[in-house]
Copies of this chain bind each other. A is one copy, B any other.
Amino acid sequence: SGKIRTNMEVLIERIMKLARDDPRRVVHSFKVALALTFVSLIYYVRPLYDGFGVAGIWAVLTVVVIFEFTVGGTLYKGLNRGIATFSAGGLGLGAIYIASHLGEAEPVFLGFMVFLLAAVSTFIRFFPHIKRRYDYGVLIFILTFSMVAVSGSRVEKIIELANQRLVTIIIGGAACMVVSIFLCPVWAGEDLHKLVALNMEKLANFLEGFGGEYFKLDEEESSGEAGVCSKDKLLFLNGYKSVLNSKASEESLANLAWWEPGHGRFRFSHPWKQYLETGGLIRQCACHIEALSGHLNTDIEVQSEFHKRIAEPCMKVCSESGKALKELASSLRAMKRPSSFSAHIQNCKAAIADLRAALEASSPDSANLVEMIPSIAVGSLLC
């Protein structure tokens, strides 16, 4: 019993962490439950068509499959599903109408049509542009066409069925979209906006921390708190590492943001693509930082004369480029032009000039350090 209790505590702890990390997850769960219960009860209490809830089944299916975490995701799936169902349904009815005049050849014709459309549609899904924006729609297109073709040949009954199914899908889809947009909406575009700003801040944190960490001239010896220092180090190290792998999430957010209507500070044709470009530059910068961070782990036995001489300009470059990035991030967050940005860049450039001067007037034994120049140049270039 003690062990079960511990396991339960671990589980509860994990659930709490998941909810604390992003409380919108809890809200999302209740939103899905609400939409689903609403649609189920409509169809349970007052079966619209044949009393056995076949139509209700499609509304429920639509809600479960369409409702995504972000508004963009819900709109993407909902609109794709609606349009694909409608067009494939029409095409399917046409095929059945033709087939009904063919007599014996009916199943052959329908089978051939299903085969052809399935093969073509499946191949179309490999086009990168289609995959990005209409993948789900093409899937539903094959699905609906095949389902109509299988449903048999009595056209009148099928038109009734198609009509009924379309209505239920519209009801299910509308319920999802209304709940998704008007009840604590989660905008993919806003998430992308925040992600890019956050990534900039992570790099800035690293740059601001790196100088002090690498050139810990004598502060360390005086304070002696190595433990605290390495814990801080770990914190900002992990920070920039997540930036390196942010491409996939940025791209999916940008794709979903494309579907979202204008809201708040984001107008309809917000330039989402530019976030991707900025994200790419940030990742390039993170790559250089990765190369820099490799030098944090190497022990420097002797603090050479050279090391001390370049310390000041190097730390200056780090902190100024860090500040410039932070400024840029906060101006992105606020959607305003940065104010003190060019001052930081000026300082940074001056520090780089100092560093160059220091390098030219020194011996090459601690040549390792020199490689900070390109990374920092990239840092200032990016800004």
How far in angstroms is the closest Cβ of chain B from A145? 10
- Is the CB of A311 closer than 8 A to any CB of chain B? no
**A107 partner residues in chain B, CB cutoff 8 A:** 41, 44-45
Taking CB atoms and an 8 Å cut-off, the chain A residues in 133-160 that contact chain B are 139, 142-143, 146-147, 149-152, 157
CB of A111 within 8 A of CB of B41, answer: yes
Given A41-B107, A283-B244, does the pair A119, B32 have CB atoms closer than 8 Å? yes
Is A294 an interface residue when CB atoms closer than 8 A count as contact? yes
Determine if A378 is an interface residue (Cβ-Cβ < 8 Å): yes
A52 to B378, CA, bound (A): 67
Closest CB in chain B relative to A57 CB, distance in Å? 5
Given B64, B152, B371, which contacts A370 in the complex, CB threshold below 8 Å? B371
Determine if B33 and A118 form an interchain contact, defined as CB atoms under 8 angstroms apart: yes
- Interface bits A347-383 vs B (CB < 8 Å: 1, else 0): 0000000000001101111011011011100100000
Q: Does A34 contact B (CB under 8 A)?
A: yes
Known: A142-B36, A290-B287. A52 touches B122 (CB 8 A): no
A45: which B residues are within 8 A, CB to CB?
107
Closest approach, in angstroms, between the C-beta of A238 and any C-beta of chain B? 14
B111 touches A40 (CB 8 A): yes
A323 to chain B, nearest CB (A): 23
* A150 nearest in chain B by CB position: B56
Contact B120 A29 (CB under 8 A): yes
Please measure, in the bound complex, the distance between the C-alpha atom of A210 and the C-alpha atom of B149, giving whole angstroms: 59
- Rank and list the top 3 A-B pairs by shortest CB-CB distance, nearest first: A371-B371, A248-B248, A33-B119
Instruction: Give chain A's interface residues, CB within 8 Å of chain B.
Output: 14-15, 18-19, 25-26, 28-30, 32-34, 36-37, 40-41, 43-45, 47, 51-54, 56-57, 60-61, 64-65, 107, 110-111, 114-116, 118-120, 122-123, 126-127, 139, 142-143, 146-147, 149-152, 157, 244-245, 247-248, 283-284, 287-288, 290-291, 294-295, 359-360, 362-365, 367-368, 370-371, 373-375, 378
